[in-house]
Structure 1
Amino acid sequence: MNFKATCLAAIAVFAIGGTAVAGALDEPSNMAPFYADSAMKQLKPMPEFTKVFMAMPKDKQDDVHRLCQDAAMSKPHAEFCADVNALAGKS
């Protein structure tokens, strides 16, 4: 019975963890610094975008890079992810 409980706990942790990371591109507090307007429709010019991105902790940069490689995650953020992908290898 302990094995079954352990497996269920592991699955729950992965499910919760995956959901939390998946939402990183949907969190306004994470995304707002990259936009020039309060409606978050216009991305900052690339030099400013780069400056904001490089100011992020390395692990957060890696998470954003990884999420932008996922087609389902990047589709609603195509313009943002195009800029992030342009920065690949520069961090």
Structure 2
Amino acid sequence: MTIRTACLVAIALGLLAGAAAADPFSDLAALPTFYTDASMKTMKPMAGFKKAWLAMPKHDRVTMTKACKDPAMGKPHAQFCANVLVLDDAK
């Protein structure tokens, strides 16, 4: 019974870790390049935003675009996602 419980706990922790890793907004290291200030309150103008966007690896841009298309993920980052979706539509 103890081994079974330990296995279930390990699986549950693995699933929770996977869900946290799936949130591209949890890694805020790349996000400051899109803002004009350290507090990340003011977005760069679209030209600066686009330059920072194109500097990101394609895989990260695809992941971020998918996250922004999900209403639950994009709502807390509405202004950022609006710019992302505009750039995605301009492809």
Q: TM-score range by the shorter chain?
A: 0.7 to 0.9
Displacement, 1:17?
2.4
Matched, 1:47 2:14: no
Structure 2, unmatched stretches of 5+, are 1-6
Give distance in 1, aligned partners of 2:58 and 2:74: 20
Identity of aligned residues (%): 35
CA displacement, residues 20-65 of structure 1 (integer Å, 9 cap, x when unaligned): 121x213321211100001100000000100000011110000000
Bigger Rg, which one: 2
Deviation above 6 Å: which 4+ runs of structure 1?
none
- TM-score w.r.t. the length of structure 1 is 0.78
Scaled by the length of structure 2, the TM-score of the pair is 0.78
RMSD over aligned Cα, in angstroms?
Answer: 2.4
1:21 alignment partner in structure 2: 22
- Partner in structure 1 of residue 67 of structure 2: 67
- Which residue pairs with 1:82 in the alignment? 82
Give the count of matched residue pairs: 86
Structure 1, unpaired ranges of 5+? none
